[in-house]
Amino acid sequence: IPPELLAKMKEKFISLSTRPIAKVAEARARKNKRASTKLAAAKKKAAAVANSSEMSEAMKLKAISKAMRGQDASRPGKTYVISKKGGGTKGGKGIKLVDKRMKNDKRSMDRST
C-alpha cells in the first residue's frame, strides 16, 4: 500500500472517530429541550408569583424558590470503595470497587484540577 493512500485512509478514520454519534447527539438535544422547557415553566410561575399582590414578600420568596427547585438536579457521582483482600466488600448501585492505588490516583487527579 502506498504511504499516501495509507495517510489518506488514516485521516478518514480519524475524522470518522471524532464525529459525534447521531443517537448521542439526539439524546443530548432531548435532554436540553426538556431542561429548557422546565426552566421556562419555572420562570413563568416565578413571574406570576412575583406579580401577585395578595402574598407577603417572604411567601413570594418561598414560592419562587420552590418553583426553581430541581432545575440544577445532577446525578450523584460514583462512590469509590477499596476492595479488601478477603473479598468481604460488595458493589452496588453507584459504588465502584477499586484497589487502594486507583482510589489515591483518582483523589490526586481531583486535587490537581
pTM: 0.43
Sequence-ordered list of residues with C-beta below 8 angstroms from that of 80, at least 6 positions apart, any chain? 96, 98, 102, 103, 106
Q: Which of 19-23, 37-41, 78-82, 103-107 has the highest mean pLDDT?
A: 37-41
CB contact burial 30-61 (16+ within 10 A = b; e otherwise): eeeeeeeeeeeebeeebeebeeeeeeeeeeee
User: For position 30, what pLDDT does the model report?
Assistant: 94
pLDDT per residue as tens digits for the range 16-67: 777 778 888 899 899 999 988 888 888 888 888 888 878 888 888 888 888 7
Is residue 74 over pLDDT 60? no
